[in-house]
Amino acid sequence: MKKKVVVTGMGVISPLGNTVEDFCASLKAGKSGIGKITSFDTTDFDVKIAGEVKDFDPTVWMDKKEARKMARFSQFAVAAAAQALTDAGLMGETDAEGKRPVKSNVEKTGIVFGNGIGGFEVVSESMRKLFYDGPKRMLPLTVPMMIPNEAAGNASMMFGTKGPAYTQVTACAAGTDALGQALEIIRSGRCDVVIAGGTEATIVPFAVGGFQMLKALSTKRSDDPEKASRPFDADRDGFVMGEGAGILILESEEHAKSRGAKIHAEFAGYGSSADAYHITSPDPTGEGGALAVKSAIADAELKPEDIQYYNAHGTSTEINDPTETKVLKKVFGDHAYKMKVSSTKSMHGHCIAGGGGIEAIACILAIRDGFYPPTINLDNPDPECDLDYVPNKAQYGEINITASGSLGFGGHNGVVIFRKYKG
């Protein structure tokens, strides 16, 4: 029998709030976190809106000196991990060096984070200094701040964990894949506890400019940004960049029960696949995405009709939304029209690798509080997207099993399933 894995802690930094309860309240209210970009001058950009994290002070969660050594994506991850460890009752006391060692066997406590692009703001600033001022004026910590693995490295140092510390880099699927890898590490017995999820900080000129050149981002609603992210709507015109981190504390059921931990949900299954099709576009047949969903359902030892709510990748792009609808119909058949499907990206934007962790938390909150997060701005449904996408307002009811899917550039597909914990 597979070792049962449970969720005992959650932490989030997002455009919808920097605590789990603020995030949850925003989901229930159908609140948009999309607005005008404030972090840089967008005069020369067609794209002028994004889902920025607001009022984020890293020193609430870490020493000021340590924060200065981290890129923004690392700060997000460490802050969300600190929240999650506190929620799980595993946060240690601050020591003389400003570290907070976990209250668990550090050799059997691991970290798996997903990240897509690392510290782009650090890359941009050092490149500017290199070209205009010469190499000796570059930021001294350019390399250790910019590389994607440093979020996991910084978290390991902050919390004193000595188990495996990995980074998944599968673009938009990276946060979901990180959760899946963490699930397998615990099932194998290698770790009792894994801090897992995704983090991203993409609201910088280099990243926004790059996605703009791909013609992937919304540009039509710069004067009404809250209406710009509109998954499954016929009037969508591209995705809206987001940023943030969603981190879970995963434990073996045995370990969690032995210490009397509060259990939020069971992490029941994970599936992944590759499209083998295109560097940016999903396979229009939906075969790759369907394989990942089927694999997750099989891993959880469930039937398709057991899934009550599916948090879709739902990017608000011309190709993704109908393709994902096709994926769900392939897997669920008639049940696709009976289950609830929504895209919380309509509210927080596309947080790239951070999305997998953030959206997993949305699924767990849906189980905890019995609500289906809405897809806001769904005013004129695309005829090709004809499922129940929970339009505009949250709906309520008892929920036992949820799933979340992520589709990454390069054809990476990841799906996770959570189930109400019944002991």
Instruction: Name 134's Cβ contacts closer than 8 Å, sequence gap at least 6.
Output: none
What does the alpha-carbon distance between residue 150 and residue 301 come to, in Å, rounded to a whole number? 35
Catalytic residues: 172, 313, 350
Residue 410: other Cβ atoms inside 10 A: 15
Is the CB of residue 187 less than 8 Å from the CB of residue 268?
no
